[in-house]
């Protein structure tokens, strides 16, 4: 029974698999039976013993078997009730064969009954008593019939005596057998429960051990961090005290001795000043380290041309290099460096640190800077011809307050934090910094910065955590509307109008600044002139959609045309995205609802596109005219189209001019115009606002459709809401 090994793992299974009925050993049974047979056969054949006495003994032995087994502590030899009954049945048969028929019945009736009686399984006392009484009645009946007349009462007495003996022996045996079975079941159940519990405990212990290990690990780590912090603090304290001592000493000296030479005074003041700057430099650097470490540095991530950063840094350190007679050279690949995404000031700080170190530790020769794009990152290397770095110092130099040449007299001064700061900055940018050096042959400090691969999401910032401004935006009481329009007057007019209605407005004249404002202020709605997206029509749009925070920002597309001769005109009745498809085309026409059945005029420079549109419209029963940009006005006047499709990619400002002319001409001003654009208006958060097609005056209610949309998206203005 090595259950320990068998079910060491799975608990639920163990509950069943654990139950193994402890069967009575067949060998012991066999032995007992043989013994009995030998004993009985001897008596049977010789006729020596009285069958009565012999069977009394055998019966007693059989019935007391279980008790005896328990008494000698061999519980695994216990017999189940039915086994015992079979034993007794065998004895009964043998007894019958030996000629003691009546006595066999007399002796076996009762135990036989209560062994095979209905109460056998449950071992209920009531059943037992019932069997007992039945047995008595049976015995009386048998004895009465057999020995009527001769010693009847003596036989009855004898029977009762026998019965009492057997009952006395049998009762506890039977009860015990039930008890034993229950005990055995219990044992089995408790064994399997024990194993299940044991397994559960084992598992729990393992889990606890794992948790404990993790905690120990975390504790160790925290302890290390704590030790590092303490070390840092003590180093900072040491580093601060040194310049402070100088400042204090020299100041007191000057206060103590009033008769100092002017030269000495100047020398001391110079030292005080120098040490003060050292102190403030140190404090700044310490704060930098602390901020970088806690991740609380404000970063302004923009596209950075590292070439420019390198050149600027070189310029600022030129005098220092020149003083030592060192030459700095920067080799840049032709066509400039690929842009990286980063904080320009921080990257400049790294560059200045590295150059500063290179100059400090180089006494002759020069400093060479190389930079090149490699796969997904930019590699910058600053090589000097200084004394080099011991191999064992290569990692240590990036540690706080580690100074190369600690054992070299007259070591250069610095905060001892430059490389630490540089390392942290580079790592925050997702890059790597290291040094390659050979003693006596100079060192090369290298770092990498990931390239800007068009992703506008800040790579190392928690994306789910909204910046403070967004949280602030949630609390602000007024809605923000970002107005993006190239035309200054249009933009101002719109903003003024919206401000009047109680909105906060932001203005941007190009996609780039618009994008920054959108990121920063998280406006509720963007109103954008379709052509204010800049050279790349879709830059603003894509830029907004790429960032998770602004991806769902609603954009209202408008087409305002400001013409000095005719005032502000809102001129477009719909938009069509390229490539034009039949469904969108029909829908746009339906929305623009031309008043009559005149031809539809297509003004496009793309002849193929114009032909396609003509075909599409032709199959729908429309007549179509086509015109070039230059002859568009003429054609419209002549043909009086019911609708005009205008290509927005006409060269320069010509579509605006065309539109302005169409709108200022009484003959064409009432014709609806649909603008064909590169911009996708399929985006479900983009809505092209269809505006009126009447000649527009600045204060007319024609702005209403736009305002209606804004109200829908950004709520009513604060003035109205209040």
Partner 1 sequence: MPGQRILVADDEPYLTRSLSFVLRKEGYEVETASDGEEALRRFEEFGPQVVFLDLMMPKKDGYEVCHAIRNDPKFRGIHPYVVILTCKGQEVDRYKGYLEGADEYMAKPFSPVDIIAKLKEYFLLNAG
String of b and e for 358-393 (b: at least 16 CB within 10 Å)? bbbbbeeebbbbbbebeeebbbbbbbbbbbbbeeeb
409 lies in the site for partner 1, by CB under 8 A: yes
Q: Is 246 in the site for partner 1 (CB under 8 A)?
A: yes
Pick between residue 244 and residue 546 the one whose CB is nearest to partner 1. Answer: 244
What does residue 647 show for φ and ψ, rounded to 5 degrees? -80, 125
Nearer to partner 1, 237 or 682 (CB): 237
Answer yes or no whether residue 237 interacts with partner 1 by CB under 8 A: yes
Count of C-beta atoms within a 10 Å radius of residue 568: 21
342 burial class (0-12, 13-18, 19+ CB within 10 angstroms)?
Answer: buried
234 binds partner 1 (CB under 8 A): yes
In terms of CB distance, is 249 or 370 closer to partner 1?
Answer: 249
Under 8 Å CB-to-CB from 100, ≥6 apart: which residues? 51, 52, 55
**Beta-bridge partners for 434:** 446
- Region near partner 1 per CB under 8 A, out of 82-90, 110-118, 332-340, 406-414: 406-414
Closer residue to partner 1 (CB): 241 or 303: 241
Does residue 348 contact residue 311 with C-beta atoms inside 8 Å?
Answer: no
Among 80, 253, 470, 669, binds partner 1 (CB under 8 A): 253
261 is an interface residue for partner 1 by CB under 8 A: no
CB of 271 to partner 1, least distance (A): 5
Output the smallest distance, CB 278 to partner 1, in A. 10
Cβ proximity to partner 1, 233 vs 615, nearer residue:
233
Pairing of strands 673-677, 643-647: parallel
The 3-state DSSP class for residue 367 equals strand
Can you tell me the distance from the alpha carbon of 213 to that of 560, in angstroms, rounded to the nearest whole number? 68
Q: How far is the CB of 448 from partner 1 (least distance, A)?
A: 35
480 binds partner 1 (CB under 8 A): no
Going from the C-alpha of 620 to that of each of 334, 624, 626, the distances in angstroms are 56, 11, 17
What one-character-per-residue DSSP string does 604-653 give? -S-HHHHHHHHHHHHHTT--EEEE-STTHHHHHHHH--SEEEEETTSSTT
Which of 248, 324, 637, 712 contacts partner 1 by CB under 8 A?
Answer: 248
Q: Binding residues for partner 1, how many (CB under 8 A)?
A: 22
Name the minimum Å distance from CB 518 to partner 1. Answer: 52
First-to-last alpha carbon distance for the chain, in angstroms, is: 84
Q: Which of 226, 279, 223, 270 is nearest to 250 (CA)?
A: 270
Rounded to a whole number of angstroms, the minimum distance from the CB of residue 274 to partner 1 is 8
Residue from 28, 36, 244, 716 touching partner 1 (CB under 8 A): that is: 244
Using rule CB under 8 A, residue 283 touches partner 1: no
Structure tokens at 134: 């039945």
Task: State how beta strands 340-343 and 301-304 pair.
Answer: antiparallel
Q: Round to whole Å and give the CA distance between 709 and 54.
A: 114
Minimum gap (Å) between residue 256 Cβ and partner 1: 7
Name residue, tokens 């107005």. 483
Return d(Cα 559, Cα 663) in angstroms, integer.
13
Rounded to the nearest whole angstrom, what is the least distance from the CB of residue 395 to partner 1 in the complex?
22
Binding region for partner 1 (CB under 8 A) out of 42-50, 370-378, 402-410, 527-535 = 402-410
Q: Does 252 bind partner 1 (CB under 8 A)?
A: yes
Which residue from 601, 598, 526, 573 is spatially nearest to 696, judged by alpha carbons?
A: 573
Please report how many Cα atoms fall inside a 13 Å half-sphere around the Cα of residue 407, on the Cβ side: 3
Burial classification of residue 466, based on how many CB atoms lie within 10 Å of its CB (0-12 exposed, 13-18 middle, 19 or more buried):
middle
Closest separation in Å from C-beta 407 to partner 1: 5
For residue 704, the Cα-to-chain-centroid distance in whole angstroms is 46
| 407 binds partner 1 per the rule CB under 8 A | yes
- Which one of 55, 65, 232, 250 is in contact with partner 1 (CB under 8 A)? 250
> In the complex with partner 1, which residue's Cβ is closer, 87 or 387?
387
Min. distance of Cβ 388 from partner 1 in angstroms? 19
CB-nearer residue toward partner 1: 246 or 490: 246
Of 275, 288, 400, 485, the residue at the interface with partner 1 (CB under 8 A) is 275
Residues numbered 428 to 467 that lie near partner 1 (CB under 8 A) are: none
- Examine residue 704 and tell whether it contacts partner 1 (CB under 8 A): no
Q: How far apart are CA 598 and CA 615, in angstroms?
A: 17
Comparing CB distances to partner 1, the nearer of 243 and 641 is 243
> Which of 158, 187, 193, 249 contacts partner 1 by CB under 8 A?
249
Which of 56, 188, 242, 538 contacts partner 1 by CB under 8 A? 242
Cα distance between residue 489 and residue 172, in whole Å: 113
C-alpha triplet 169, 174, 180: angle, nearest 5°: 125
In the numeric block, which tokens belong to residue 539? 């830059």
Task: Give the residue with the Cβ less far from partner 1, 249 or 614.
Answer: 249
595 and 627 in contact (C-beta within 8 Å)? no
Using DSSP, how many helices (H) and how many strands (E) does the chain show?
Answer: 23, 19
Reading the block at residue 171, the tokens are 């009762």
DSSP helix/strand/coil, 380: strand
CB of 246 to partner 1, least distance (A): 4
Contact window for partner 1 (CB under 8 A) among 60-68, 124-132, 237-245, 532-540: 237-245
The reply on whether position 121 binds partner 1 by CB under 8 A is no
271 counts as binding partner 1 under rule CB under 8 A: yes
Dist. CA 145–CA 576, nearest whole Å: 120
Site for partner 1 in 314-353 (CB under 8 A): none
- Minimum gap (Å) between residue 391 Cβ and partner 1: 21
Tell the smallest beta-carbon distance from residue 265 to partner 1 (Å): 12
**Least distance CB 413 / partner 1 (angstroms):** 10
Give the interface segment with partner 1, choosing from 25-33, 230-238, 358-366, 482-490 (CB under 8 A): 230-238
Question: Taking CB under 8 A as the rule, does residue 229 contact partner 1?
Answer: no
230 lies in the binding site for partner 1 (CB under 8 A): no
Cα separation, 341 vs 339, in Å, equals 7
CB of 221 to partner 1, least distance (A): 25
φ, ψ of residue 671 to 5 degrees: the values are -80, 125
| Residue from 538, 568, 511 nearest 691 by CA | 568
- The residue range among 183-191, 251-259, 312-320, 520-528 that interacts with partner 1, by the rule CB under 8 A, is 251-259
Beta carbons of 418 and 286 less than 8 angstroms apart: no
CB of 326 to partner 1, least distance (A): 24
Decide if residue 406 touches partner 1 (CB under 8 A): yes
Residue 646, both tokens:
């205008």
Q: Is 20 in the site for partner 1 (CB under 8 A)?
A: no
- For position 281 contacting partner 1 by CB under 8 A, the verdict is no
Nearest distance from C-beta of residue 403 to partner 1, angstroms: 11
Q: Which residues bind partner 1 (CB under 8 A)?
A: 234, 237-238, 241-242, 244-250, 252-253, 256-257, 271, 275, 406-409
């Amino acid at each position: 029974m090595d259950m320990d090994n068998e079910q060491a793992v799975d608990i639920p299974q163990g509950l069943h698999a654990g139950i193994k009925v402890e069967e009575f050993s067949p060998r012991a049974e066999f032995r007992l039976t043989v013994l009995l047979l030998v004993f009985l056969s001897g008596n049977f054949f010789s006729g020596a013993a009285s069958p009565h006495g012999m069977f009394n003994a055998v019966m007693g032995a059989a019935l007391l078997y279980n008790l005896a087994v328990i008494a000698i502590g061999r519980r695994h030899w216990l017999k189940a009730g039915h086994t015992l009954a079979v034993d007794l049945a065998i004895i009964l048969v043998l007894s019958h064969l030996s000629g003691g028929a009546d006595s066999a019945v007399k002796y076996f009736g009762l135990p036989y009954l209560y062994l095979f009686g209905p109460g056998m399984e449950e071992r209920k006392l009531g059943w037992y008593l019932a069997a007992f009484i039945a047995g008595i009645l049976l015995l009386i009946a048998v004895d009465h019939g057999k020995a009527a007349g001769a010693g009847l009462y003596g036989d009855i007495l004898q029977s009762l005596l026998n019965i009492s003996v057997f009952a006395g022996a049998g009762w506890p045996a039977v009860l015990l057998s039930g008890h034993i079975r229950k005990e055995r079941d219990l044992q089995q159940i408790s064994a399997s429960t024990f194993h299940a519990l044991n397994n559960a405990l084992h598992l729990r212990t393992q889990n606890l051990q794992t948790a404990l290990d993790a905690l120990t690990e975390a504790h160790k780590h925290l302890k290390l961090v704590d030790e590092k912090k303490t070390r840092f603090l003590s180093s900072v304290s040491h580093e601060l005290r040194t310049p402070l001592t100088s400042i204090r000493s020299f100041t007191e000296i000057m206060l103590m001795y009033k008769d100092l030479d002017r030269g000495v005074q100047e020398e001391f003041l110079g030292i005080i000043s120098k040490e003060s700057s050292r102190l403030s430099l140190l404090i700044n650097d310490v704060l930098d380290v602390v901020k970088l470490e806690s991740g609380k540095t404000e970063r302004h991530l923009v596209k950075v041309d590292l070439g420019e950063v390198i050149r600027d840094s070189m310029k600022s350190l030129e005098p220092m290099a020149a003083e030592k007679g060192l030459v700095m050279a920067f080799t840049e690949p032709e066509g400039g460096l690929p842009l990286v995404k980063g904080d320009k000031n921080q990257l400049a700080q790294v560059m200045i640190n590295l150059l500063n170190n290179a100059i400090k530790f180089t006494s002759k020769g020069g400093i060479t800077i190389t930079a090149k794009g490699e796969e997904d990152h930019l590699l910058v290397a600053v090589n000097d011809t200084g004394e080099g770095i011991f191999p064992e110092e290569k990692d240590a130099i990036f540690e706080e307050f580690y100074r190369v040449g600690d054992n070299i007299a007259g070591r250069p001064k610095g905060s001892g934090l430059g490389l630490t700061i540089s390392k942290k900055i580079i790592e925050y940018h997702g890059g790597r910094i290291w040094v390659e050096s050979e003693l006596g042959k100079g060192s090369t400090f290298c770092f990498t910065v990931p390239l800007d691969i068009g992703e506008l999401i800040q790579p190392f910032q928690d994306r789910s955590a909204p910046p403070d401004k967004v949280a602030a935006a949630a609390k602000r009481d007024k809605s923000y509307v970002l107005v993006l329009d190239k035309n200054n007057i249009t933009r101002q007019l719109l903003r003024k109008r919206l401000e009047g209605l109680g909105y906060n407005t932001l203005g941007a004249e190009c996609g780039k600044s618009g994008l920054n404002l959108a990121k920063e202020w998280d406006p509720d709605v963007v109103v954008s002139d379709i052509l204010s997206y800049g050279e790349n029509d879709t830059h603003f749009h894509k830029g907004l959609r790429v960032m998770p925070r602004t991806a769902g920002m609603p954009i209202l597309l408008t087409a305002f045309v400001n013409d000095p001769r005719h005032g502000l005109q809102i001129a477009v009745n719909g938009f069509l995205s390229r490539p034009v498809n039949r469904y969108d085309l029909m829908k746009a026409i339906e929305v623009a609802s031309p008043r009559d059945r005149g031809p539809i005029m297509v003004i496009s420079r793309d002849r193929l596109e114009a032909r396609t549109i003509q075909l599409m419209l032709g199959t729908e029963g429309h007549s179509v005219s086509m015109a070039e940009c230059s002859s568009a006005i003429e054609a419209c006047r002549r043909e009086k189209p019911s609708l005009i499709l205008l290509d927005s990619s006409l060269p320069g400002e010509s579509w605006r001019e065309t539109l302005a002319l169409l709108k200022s001409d009484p003959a064409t001003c009432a014709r609806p115009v649909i603008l064909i654009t590169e911009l996708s208006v399929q985006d479900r958060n983009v809505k092209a606002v269809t505006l009126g097609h009447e000649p527009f005056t600045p204060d007319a209610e024609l702005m209403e459709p736009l305002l209606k949309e804004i109200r829908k998206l950004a709520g009513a203005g604060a003035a109205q809401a209040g």
